[in-house]
């Protein structure tokens, strides 16, 4: 199984920008922890980060046929990007939205996610640990999909008899 982790604008500045909100961890440290978890669970993980909306759309589209799931922190584009929303919808992959801060407790303009309605779930406000939670969540999604496929195979086999 392959998960692509897509990071939006300014996340490359973690550990520097507004540490009172986002904490001291750098993006590379978060990715290293995710790599360790992926290795322990037999999952391939790939990381992408861009400050450009179109590059994020490209990264999502490139997941089609290449990945089994997406973990995305669209950052500021969460609140404005119909293009990212449409790309997630188009690829049809399980997608978990992550936000380090609790956006529901922040400025009003940050409280509406354009992305959440097309995602499998959202994890907000747990700091960098939210990415670990997303990895666990994606494993659960994969297990549920596998169980559903197995049930369909059994139903088809029973129908043939």
99 is catalytic: yes
Residue range 65-75: average pLDDT? 97
Which domains occur in the chain, in start order? 2-160 (3.40.50.9100)
68 is catalytic: no
pLDDT digits (tens, 9 = 90+) for 96-140: 999 998 877 766 766 688 999 999 999 999 999 999 999 999 999
Question: What pLDDT, on a 0 to 100 scale, did the predictor assign at position 22?
Answer: 87
Q: Bigger pLDDT: 113 or 61? A: 61
Residue range 52-65: average pLDDT? 98
Q: Which of 22, 31, 64, 132 is catalytic?
A: 22
Residue range 57-85: average pLDDT? 97
CA nearest to 15, candidates 7, 27, 5, 6: 27
pTM of this structure: 0.91
| Band of residue 160 on the pLDDT scale cut at 50, 70, 90 | confident
Q: Which of 79, 99, 131, 132 is catalytic?
A: 99
pLDDT digits (tens, 9 = 90+) for 76-101: 999 999 999 999 999 999 999 999 98
Listed in sequence order, the residues at least 6 apart from 137 whose beta carbon sits closer than 8 Å to its beta carbon are: 96, 120, 121, 123
- To the nearest whole number, what is the mean pLDDT of the chain? 93
pLDDT above 90 (res 21) = no
């Amino acid at each position: 199984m392959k998960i692509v982790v897509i990071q939006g604008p300014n996340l490359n500045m973690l550990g520097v920008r507004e540490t009172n909100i986002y904490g001291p961890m750098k993006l590379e440290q978060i990715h290293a922890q995710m790599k360790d978890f992926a290795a322990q669970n037999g999952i391939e993980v790939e990381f992408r980060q861009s400050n450009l909306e179109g590059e994020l759309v490209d990264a999502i589209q490139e997941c089609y046929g290449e990945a089994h799931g997406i973990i995305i922190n669209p950052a500021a584009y969460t609140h404005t990007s119909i293009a990212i929303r449409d790309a997630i919808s188009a690829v049809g992959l399980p997608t978990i939205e992550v936000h380090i801060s609790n956006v529901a407790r922040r400025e009003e303009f940050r409280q509406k996610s354009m992305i959440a309605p097309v995602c499998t779930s959202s994890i907000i406000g747990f700091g960098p640990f939210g990415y670990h939670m997303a990895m666990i969540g994606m494993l659960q999604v994969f297990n549920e999909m596998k169980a559903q496929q197995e049930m369909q195979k059994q139903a088809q086999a029973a129908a043939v008899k």
